[in-house]
């Protein structure tokens, strides 16, 4: 046994000496490879899962109808990223109908300037602004030239959504083309403040990744139907943190036709100034405290009374609209928007220990 070890050690020493000498004398040394230098064989995989097939089908059907929206202002000749501000902005939009109307977020195009869209095919088209609804963060564009448009995205409903069901977002995050992310519906009936100074009710929350540039893109259900328009995120860093929001499609389907017809959406109101929710909380009040009514407004004509500034006594508190509880101002504005300007709403008003129902006309407060 010792003799074998001695022979092996001697052979190894000789090999090491030869290699060292070759390096010193710059003599090339040939190495014998352990395997043949050929590409590895591809191992065949099994069929895609049903879930994978369904997701692929959603993207292939819907993505042609999703566009990148870019705005170029007079101050900047370049199209900028939505997250960078400055002279330009970019976001996402999608085909609404076969007449060339596209839907996006109002904040994507709010900076003004020339607007262009890029389709999934790479084709670029100039568009005109049809109308905006800042209170809902929605805007409608229309393609100038007649072209063969992709099919509009099929509409779903946001009324029957369930927390936990799948959700898919398609958009252009950070200017990247045609990205798809997936997740679930994390919450429903969120309230989202807008630049118009109001709140969007019944907003959808999702953990599908949404980043700057996704704004205005479609949120889809597992059937590939439109259930919302992605609009905002909550994130300390400005990037996806798993909390994204979408304007519910039932709101979109009510607002967009109005924008196409008139270029604007009425702001329904009854002519009151309401106290903040913090005031109601401190007073232990559940409802909307009327601070004052506008002279000649429907609220004043209906006998609604505000705070008595001489005594500081609280006047009327609106506690219900059409029989549904009103716990905060957003509940009231939602009821007014559902009814619409020109209609009448039945309000339950509490004054002291007495409650009564009054019928109040709804007007467009932007034009009243």
> Could you read off the pLDDT of 214-253 as tens digits, one per residue?
999 999 999 999 999 999 776 555 555 678 999 999 999 9
Residue 75, pLDDT score: 56
Number of DSSP helices (H) and strands (E) in the chain, helices first: 7, 20
Residue 50, pLDDT score: 93
Residue 257, pLDDT score: 96
CA distance 137 to 106: 5
CA distance 265 to 26: 84
Please give the residue that has the higher pLDDT: either 252 or 312.
252
> Could you read off the pLDDT of 18-31 as tens digits, one per residue?
545 545 555 554 55
91's CB contacts (< 8 A; 6+ apart) are 68, 69, 82, 104, 105, 108, 109, 171, 172, 213, 214, 215, 216, 217
Considering the domain boundaries, does residue 38 fall inside one? no
Domain count, the chain: 3
Domain's final residue, options 262, 284, 299: 262
Same domain, 238 and 304: no
Considering the domain boundaries, does residue 170 fall inside one? yes
CA distance 123 to 144: 14
- Residues catalogued as catalytic: 107, 137, 215
Domain's final residue, options 262, 287, 303: 262
CA distance 129 to 140: 6
Q: Is a pLDDT exceeding 70 seen at residue 5?
A: no
Considering the domain boundaries, does residue 2 fall inside one? no
Same domain, 341 and 291: yes
CA distance 329 to 332: 5
Provide the residue range defining the domain that includes 56: 52-143
Considering the domain boundaries, does residue 360 fall inside one? yes
Q: Which residues of 297-333 are buried (b: 16+ CB within 10 A; e: fewer)?
A: bbbbebebbbbeeeeeebbbbbbbbeeeebebbbbbb
Q: What is the mean pLDDT of the chain?
A: 85
> Could you read off the pLDDT of 127-177 as tens digits, one per residue?
999 999 988 999 999 999 867 899 999 999 999 999 999 999 999 988 778
Domain's final residue, options 110, 143, 176: 143
Considering the domain boundaries, does residue 304 fall inside one? yes
> Could you read off the pLDDT of 78-123 as tens digits, one per residue?
444 444 444 457 899 999 999 999 999 999 999 888 999 999 989 9
Considering the domain boundaries, does residue 149 fall inside one? no
Token pair recorded at residue 198 = 């109001």
Strand ranges, E, within 134-254 = 138-143, 166-171, 179-193, 199-206, 218-220, 226-233, 244-248
pLDDT mean over 285-310: 92
Considering the domain boundaries, does residue 215 fall inside one? yes
CATH number at residue 120: 2.40.10.10
Same domain, 241 and 306: no
Considering the domain boundaries, does residue 72 fall inside one? yes
Return the HEC string of 248-317.
EHHHHHHHHHHHHHHCCCCCEECCEEECCHHHHHHCCCCCEEEEEECCCCHHHHCCCCCCECCCCECCEE
Residue 276, pLDDT score: 80
């Amino acid at each position: 046994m010792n003799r074998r070890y001695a022979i092996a050690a001697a052979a190894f020493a000789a090999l090491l000496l030869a290699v060292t000498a070759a390096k010193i004398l710059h003599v090339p040394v040939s190495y014998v490879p352990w395997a043949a230098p050929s590409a590895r064989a591809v191992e065949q995989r099994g069929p895609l899962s049903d879930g994978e097939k369904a997701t692929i089908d959603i993207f292939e059907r819907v993505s042609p109808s999703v566009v990148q929206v870019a705005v170029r202002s007079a101050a900047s000749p370049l199209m900028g990223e939505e997250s960078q501000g400055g002279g330009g902005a970019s976001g996402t939009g999608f085909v609404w109908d076969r007449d060339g109307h596209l839907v996006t977020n109002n904040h994507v195009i709010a900076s003004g300037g020339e607007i262009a869209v890029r389709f999934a095919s790479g084709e670029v088209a100039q568009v005109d602004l049809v109308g905006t609804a800042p209170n809902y963060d929605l805007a409608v564009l229309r393609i100038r030239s007649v072209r063969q448009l992709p099919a509009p995205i099929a509409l779903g409903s946001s009324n029957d959504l369930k927390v936990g069901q799948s959700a898919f977002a398609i958009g252009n995050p950070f200017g990247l083309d045609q990205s798809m992310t997936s997740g679930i519906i994390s919450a429903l009936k969120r309230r989202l403040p807008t630049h118009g100074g109001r709140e969007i009710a019944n907003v959808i929350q999702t953990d599908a990744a949404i980043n700057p540039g996704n704004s205005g893109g479609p949120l889809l259900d597992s059937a590939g139907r439109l259930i919302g328009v992605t609009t905002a995120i909550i994130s300390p860093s400005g990037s996806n943190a798993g909390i994204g929001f979408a304007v519910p499609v039932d709101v979109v389907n009510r607002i967009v036709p109005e924008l196409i017809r008139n270029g604007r959406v009425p702001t329904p109101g009854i002519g009151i100034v309401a106290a903040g929710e913090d005031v109601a909380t401190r007073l232990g009040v559940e409802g909307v405290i009327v601070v004052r009514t506008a002279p000649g407004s429907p609220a004043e004509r209906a006998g609604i009374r505000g705070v008595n500034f001489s005594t500081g006594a609280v006047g009327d508190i609106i506690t219900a609209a059409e029989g549904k509880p009103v716990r905060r101002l957003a509940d009231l504005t939602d009821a007014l928007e559902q009814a619409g300007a020109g209609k009448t709403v039945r309000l339950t008003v509490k004054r002291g220990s007495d409650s009564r129902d009054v019928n109040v006309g709804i007007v467009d407060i932007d034009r009243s």
